[in-house]
């Protein structure tokens, strides 16, 4: 089963770059996800910029949450093992909130299935459903435009990050969570506070070929979540 290991989060009100700090362990079949909600377009995400292990992440998709807010999701297959690695997000000016999640036991050839995206009007609790299977892991990231939104992930989900750049109309918020796979998995959020609009990007992460779901794997996921390190920046 794809297993979360470490997570990081950060936010800024004006910088054109935003750095996250994340440790990538030595477990097999590693995978990295980075999500960002911003007022300007994210033009790139780089792992270990300027270092010996520099890698450029691939954009999975970008969702227009509103006319001036984008939510993007990025990936890196087989990130190098590294302690306190820098992950740099490059964008225009304005507010941004972002997070990163390192995982292992993710298929390296087809790490994920088709992406599901949806936007929601103010006052609506966001949620999407997607197909999965018992050996897999479902991941979703949510972004919000403005206000002072507070996110609470639904039952059966494990939250990996939850951060916002500020409060007020210019603020942007971003959170992410995952849940064990099943034939159909509903990923939901309860929204309190205010937001002019929200958007969700969700996908199914595939276990390595030949992998099966076991009680040991489920226990491993729970233990990994307990070990998960949340690093907050501004």
pLDDT tens-digit readout, 72-123: 999 999 999 999 999 999 999 899 999 999 999 999 999 999 999 999 999 8
Pairing of strands 116-121, 69-77: unpaired
What does the pLDDT look like over 160-212, one tens digit per residue? Answer: 999 999 987 789 999 999 999 999 999 999 988 888 899 999 999 999 997 54
Whether the CB-CB separation of 165 and 97 falls below 8 Å is answered with yes
pLDDT value of position 169: 79
Whether the CB-CB separation of 61 and 73 falls below 8 Å is answered with yes
Burial classification of residue 68, based on how many CB atoms lie within 10 Å of its CB (0-12 exposed, 13-18 middle, 19 or more buried) = middle
**pTM, two decimal places:** 0.91
pLDDT value of position 225: 45
CA gyration radius, the chain: 16
């Amino acid at each position: 089963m794809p297993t979360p290991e470490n997570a990081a989060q950060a936010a800024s009100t004006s910088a054109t770059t935003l750095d996250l700090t994340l440790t990538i362990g030595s477990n097999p079949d590693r995978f990295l996800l980075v999500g960002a909600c911003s007022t300007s377009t994210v033009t790139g995400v780089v792992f270990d910029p300027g270092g010996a292990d520099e890698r450029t992440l691939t954009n999975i998709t970008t969702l227009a949450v509103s006319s001036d807010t984008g939510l993007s999701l990025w990936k890196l297959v087989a990130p190098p093992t590294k302690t306190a690695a820098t992950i740099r997000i490059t964008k225009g000016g304005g507010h941004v909130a972002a997070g990163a999640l390192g995982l292992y036991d993710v298929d390296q050839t087809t790490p994920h299935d088709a992406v599901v995206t949806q936007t929601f009007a103010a006052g609506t609790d966001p949620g999407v459903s997607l197909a999965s299977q018992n050996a897999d892991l479902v991941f979703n990231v949510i972004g919000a435009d403005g206000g002072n939104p507070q996110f609470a992930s639904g039952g059966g989900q494990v939250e990996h990050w939850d951060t916002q750049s500020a409060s007020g109309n210019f603020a942007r918020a971003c959170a992410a969570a995952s849940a064990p796979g099943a034939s159909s998995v509903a990923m939901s959020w309860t929204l309190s506070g205010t937001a002019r609009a929200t958007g969700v990007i969700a996908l199914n992460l595939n276990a390595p070929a030949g992998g099966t779901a076991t009680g040991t794997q489920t226990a491993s996921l729970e233990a990994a979540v307990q070990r998960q390190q949340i690093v907050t920046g501004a």
